[in-house]
Homo-oligomer: A and B are copies of this chain.
Amino acid sequence: MFDFAITSKKITNTYARTGMFSTPHGNFETPIFMPVGTKGTVKTFTPEELVSLGAEIILGNTYHLYLRPGPEFLAERGGLHRWIHWDKPILTDSGGFQVFSLKKIRSITEDGVEFQSIHDGSKHFFTPEKVMEVQADIGADIIMAFDECAPGRVDMAYAKEAMDRTHRWLERCIAAQKRPKDQALFPIIQGVTYDDLRIESCKFVTQHDLPGIAIGGLAVGEAKDTTYRVLDTLAPYLPEHKPHYLMGVGSPEDLWESVHRGVDMFDCVLPTRVGRHGGVFTQTGRIDVKRNAYRTSDKPIDETCSCYTCKNYSLSYLRHLITENEILGARLCSFHNMHFLFEQIRHIRASIQDGTFLTQKEAFTRKYKYMGS
């Protein structure tokens, strides 16, 4: 169980590789994009639609599922997979990112973190042990260690303090893990944007022989150059025979740039979050279907795209649906975006397999204009 096999030959001048990871709910290929099912549903999609697009694993948010419907509830239902009608692998994050980013007053101690529910202000306490218990109840195939995700602009002293605490918490997570046979625990590298800390964190977490390794606290607002520099710094230190998961990342350009730097796994709410409001990916960059320029456009989002949305609907219709707040608009734009990302993933995998990854990456980057997230 939790075997990771690299399935591509080495390519010069890049860390890109393809692989296969096995879990109790089946295998998945890497590089992989994991759609985010925040509260037990990938917004707008049925599971069957996700599978039809190429999804092999989805993510659930421990923070949200802990608050509603709650871990005991999920355990009683036989776990998240069954409840949400998804029989392929699931990964849950540790809740750390939400606890530290949702800005509800909290206190951080060596023991853990106190936070308030976004729903009713009730107080809750997450410790490494608690988070292991909650994730055991949810029942994902891959679970994450509890980490302190420090903001992008803290000084090095605080960044180190948070990182050291994350390391101590990792050891408590390993000791407290409930279901090591059917849940793979991934540690998380922290260290904000300080290269030395990142290297130190990578070295620390790889002392433990866990089935994979995650990079947290990146793509949280810092410049893209900084993200890529930290990934460049980390790449030589990441253990080659384990999958590398870059948390929260998933714009088209970041997929290519991060795979180049050795990343195998991605998750991001981007395709559904921007899609719901009419932001859609094209070969040349992201556009907003609400623009007045599309009011009478009979063209699809992207004439080269083969997705259901592009085969059947015009920009003018999508614009109408989104401006009228019609659910079908959110569905069609999210569907296109998800298709677009899985097309990138297929494209990336194929180019690694045939050794053309770097030229394909350059071709993508030349055409695709980054327009902010």
Contact = CB atoms under 8 A, between A and B. Distances in A.
Given A45-B328, A327-B44, A330-B327, A320 B69 contact: yes
B41 A316 contact: no
A83 B316 contact: yes
A76 B327 contact: no
A328 B68 contact: no
Contacts of A68: 320, 324
A289 B330 CA distance: 23
A69 B324 CA distance: 10
Q: How many chain copies?
A: 2
A124 B46 CA distance: 42
A147 B367 CA distance: 55
Contacts of A108: none
Interface string A70-96: 000100110000011100000000000
A46 B330 CA distance: 12
B43 A317 contact: no
A192 interface: no
B327 A84 contact: no
Contacts of A83: 314, 316-317
B324 A331 contact: no
B85 A312 contact: yes
Given A83-B316, A317-B83, A317-B84, A73 B40 contact: no
Contacts of A312: 85
A365 to B, nearest CB: 33
Q: Which 4 A-B pairs have the closest CB atoms?
A: A85-B312, A41-B328, A44-B327, A41-B326
Interface of A: 39-41, 43-46, 68-69, 73, 76-77, 83-85, 296, 298, 308, 312-314, 316-317, 320-321, 324, 326-331
26 contacts: A39-B320, A40-B317, A40-B321, A41-B321, A41-B326, A41-B328, A43-B326, A43-B327, A43-B328, A44-B331, A45-B328, A46-B328, A46-B331, A68-B320, A68-B324, A69-B320, A76-B296, A77-B314, A77-B316, A83-B314, A83-B316, A83-B317, A84-B317, A327-B327, A327-B331, A331-B331
